[in-house]
Structures are given as structure tokens and as C-alpha cells.
């Protein structure tokens, strides 16, 4: 009986551990799905704002047909349903590139830049981009937690038994990953060291400093010392030697 009780207790303990691992994996998978739905909400808002932005630009620069059509095509591709996070990231990258060209065109139209609707759409779009970045960070964090559980022992056995797979990150691709390059046209120029650099030597043509020893005026010569004062000779003394001073 004791052996049977021990076996039953061990089996219940193992079942409890398996159930706990399974529930933890399901919880993480649900968090990943919820985080992705939040990204989808923000992306939908972004697509709507870009559509309104295109219509506003069209009223001022309708002849910029090529750029407008590029944005419309990229927007349609980004709005395609059932895309994986990797495919969605690629579509959003193409849309961002087309949007950048559209905003560059707006710089040539002062009336468009001053349009209140255009300015409001730009502000809303900037705010939406910030929310997308925040939602992407949260989504990637939940994906990291799920993937860690799926790929590590012993939860990887439970994940394999119940068909729980790793999730895909939603990462920036293409130009979004590249840092902006700042170049003022002086990248290949040779810049001389400053004149006060300790390792350099002063130029021979450089005029001496007013405080250098070569131009510092010489100090005036000291005046000749005055002759020592002589004591008057006592005519009553026998010699010319003056008497010694009295001792204290």
C-alpha cells in the first residue's frame, strides 16, 4: 500500500508539473497574439492617416502622379490580410520609403506645408509611429519569453507534445535598420591640427609673440651704488683712523 501511495503521489506531482508548464506556454502564446493585435490596430490607423495624407497632397500636387501612385500601391500591399510579422515588416518598410518621398515633395509647396489639415495629419502620423514602436517593443518582449520557453528544457518537450511553436519577431528591415549618415562634404578633407597642438612645431613664418623673449625689452640697468658714508675725523685724535664705537 505504501508503494502504491508513493507511486500515485509521484504521478500526481508529474501531472501537476506538466499541466503547469502547458498552462504557462498557453499564457505566453495568448500574450503574443494579444500584442500582435495591438500592433495591427496601430498599423490600421497608420494606413488610414497615410490615405488621408495622399488625398491632401493630391489637391496641391496632382501632377506628382508617380509618387502618389507608389504610396497607394505600397499602402495596399501593407493592408493585405494574413501576413506574417516578417512579411508585414517588409510591407511597412516599403510604405515608409514611399511616404518619405511623398513628404519630400511637400517641401516644394509652401501652401501645402502651411495647410492645417496637412499639418494635423503629420502630427497624428508621428504620434502613431511612436505608438507602433512601443507596441512592437512589447510584442517582441513577449515573443522572446515564449521562444525561450519553447526552446529550453523541460518545457520544450511539452511544447513539442502539444504543437506549440516559436513566434516570429516584428523587426525593422531595410533602410529602417540603417543609422542616418551625416556628411557635410568634408568627409575626405584633410583638416590641419590647431596651432596650439602640443605635438606640432611652430611655423618659421609665424611672427614671434609680443611676450616672447626675443621681443621683451631688457630691464633697465641698476643705478650705481652710493659710496659708503664716512665718519668725520676727530682733529684731536692722533691718527686718521676713526675711533672704534663704544661697546654695549
Closest CA to 90 of 174, 180, 179, 178: 174
Region label for 82, one of left (φ > 0), alpha (ψ between -120 and 50) or beta (otherwise): left
CA angle 166, 172, 175 (to 5 degrees): 150
pLDDT confidence of residue 195: 54
pLDDT confidence of residue 173: 60
Cell of 92: 511597412
Which residue in the block uniquely carries the three cell numbers 508513493?
Answer: 6
DSSP state at residue 174: G
Question: What residue ranges of the chain have pLDDT lower than 50?
Answer: 174-187, 189, 191, 194, 197, 199-242, 248
d(CA 98, CA 178): 17
Phi and psi torsions of 43, nearest 5°: -65, -40
d(CA 123, CA 117): 10
pLDDT confidence of residue 238: 45
Could you check whether the bond before residue 175 is cis, i.e. omega within 30 degrees of 0? no
d(CA 219, CA 242): 40
pLDDT confidence of residue 179: 39
pLDDT confidence of residue 167: 96
pLDDT confidence of residue 108: 87
Q: How many CB atoms lie within 10 A of CB 142?
A: 19
d(CA 53, CA 49): 6
Amino acid at each position: 500500500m505504501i508503494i502504491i501511495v508513493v507511486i500515485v503521489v509521484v504521478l500526481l506531482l508529474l501531472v501537476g508539473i506538466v499541466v503547469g508548464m502547458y498552462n504557462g506556454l498557453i499564457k505566453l502564446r495568448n500574450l503574443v497574439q494579444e500584442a500582435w493585435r495591438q500592433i495591427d490596430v496601430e498599423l490600421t490607423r497608420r494606413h488610414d492617416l497615410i490615405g488621408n495624407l495622399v488625398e491632401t497632397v493630391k489637391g496641391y500636387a496632382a501632377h506628382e502622379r508617380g509618387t502618389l501612385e507608389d504610396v497607394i500601391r505600397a499602402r495596399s500591399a501593407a493592408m493585405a490580410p494574413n501576413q506574417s510579422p516578417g512579411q508585414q515588416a517588409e510591407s511597412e518598410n516599403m510604405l515608409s520609403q514611399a511616404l518619405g518621398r511623398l513628404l519630400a515633395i511637400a517641401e516644394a509647396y509652401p501652401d501645402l506645408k502651411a495647410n492645417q489639415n496637412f499639418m494635423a495629419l503629420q502630427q497624428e502620423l508621428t504620434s502613431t509611429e511612436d505608438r507602433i514602436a512601443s507596441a512592437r517593443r512589447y510584442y517582441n518582449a513577449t515573443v522572446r519569453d515564449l521562444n525561450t520557453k519553447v526552446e529550453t528544457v523541460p518545457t520544450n518537450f511539452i511544447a513539442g507534445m502539444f504543437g506549440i511553436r516559436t513566434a516570429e519577431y516584428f523587426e525593422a528591415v531595410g533602410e529602417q535598420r540603417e543609422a542616418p549618415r551625416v556628411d557635410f562634404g568634408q568627409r575626405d578633407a584633410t583638416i590641419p591640427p590647431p596651432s596650439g597642438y602640443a605635438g606640432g612645431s611652430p611655423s618659421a613664418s609665424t611672427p614671434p609673440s609680443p611676450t616672447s623673449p626675443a621681443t621683451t625689452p631688457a630691464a633697465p640697468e641698476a643705478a650705481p651704488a652710493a659710496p659708503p658714508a664716512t665718519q668725520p675725523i676727530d682733529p684731536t685724535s692722533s691718527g686718521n683712523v676713526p675711533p672704534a664705537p663704544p661697546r654695549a
